[in-house]
């Protein structure tokens, strides 16, 4: 069975690099996008098992990207975990309304991030993590 694949979407390259190191150490394959439009392209070509999506990005917000992922029959079953520096109930509510399974606030602990990703990966992929 192949290692799980996670699409990491954030407009801050340093955040993407940190997440990539964290996930790669745990046996998760990482594909990257730095904006919402790129994320929608990558999701169609790479078919990730999960999307880790920043909320505040230029051009297209994470909420809009999540809503498009969930409205597409080819991608609607891919779990989306949102990331945000907004520590508000509104951010959580908007993430869930857009179709996300979880909102993780920045800054986050690497262990918390991994636990949430493991929790939301399809069952057949979890055995290959860690």
Residue 71 lies in a domain: yes
User: Cα 47 to the chain's mean position, in Å?
Assistant: 13
Residue 121 lies in a domain: no
- The yes-or-no verdict on residue 76 having pLDDT over 70 is yes
pLDDT tens-digit map of 14-41: 999 999 999 999 999 999 999 999 999 9
- Residues 6 or more apart whose Cβ sits within 8 Å of residue 110: 22
How confident is residue 58, by pLDDT bands cut at 50, 70 and 90?
Answer: confident
pLDDT tens-digit map of 91-124: 889 999 999 999 999 999 999 999 999 999 977 6
Beta-carbon neighbour count of residue 63 at 10 Å?
Answer: 22
Q: Give the CATH number for residue 51.
A: 3.40.50.2300
Number of domains in the chain: 1
Residue 42 lies in a domain: yes
- Which residues form the domain of 11? 5-86+98-113
- The yes-or-no verdict on residue 130 having pLDDT over 80 is no
CA-CA distance, 81 to 77, in Å (whole number)?
Answer: 13
pTM: predicted TM-score of the whole model, two decimal places? 0.92
**Nearest alpha carbon to residue 96 among 114, 43, 30, 104:** 104
Residue 119 lies in a domain: no
Q: Where are the beta strands (DSSP E) in the chain?
A: 5-9, 29-33, 50-54, 80-84, 102-105
Residue 118 lies in a domain: no
- Sign of the C-alpha dihedral, residues 115, 119, 121, 126? positive
Residue 20 lies in a domain: yes
Q: Which helix (H) or strand (E) holds 49?
A: none
Interval 66-87 mean pLDDT: 94
Instruction: Quote the tokens at residue 118.
Output: 């493991």
Residue 38 lies in a domain: yes
Residue 124 lies in a domain: no
Please report where in the chains the tokens 């990703």 appear, as a residue: 117
């Amino acid at each position: 069975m192949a290692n799980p694949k996670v699409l990491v979407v954030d407009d801050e390259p340093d955040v993407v690099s940190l997440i990539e190191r964290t996930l790669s150490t745990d046996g998760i394959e990482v594909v990257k996008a730095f904006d919402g439009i790129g994320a929608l392209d990558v999701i169609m070509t790479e078919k990730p098992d999960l999307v880790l999506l920043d909320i505040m990005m230029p051009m297209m917000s994470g909420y809009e990207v999540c809503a498009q992922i969930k409205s597409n029959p080819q991608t609607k079953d891919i779990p989306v975990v949102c990331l945000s520096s907004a520590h508000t109930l509104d951010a959580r509510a908007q993430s869930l309304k857009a179709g996300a399974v979880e909102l993780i606030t920045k800054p986050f602990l690497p262990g918390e991030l991994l636990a949430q990703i493991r929790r939301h990966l399809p069952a057949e992929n979890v055995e290959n993590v860690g």
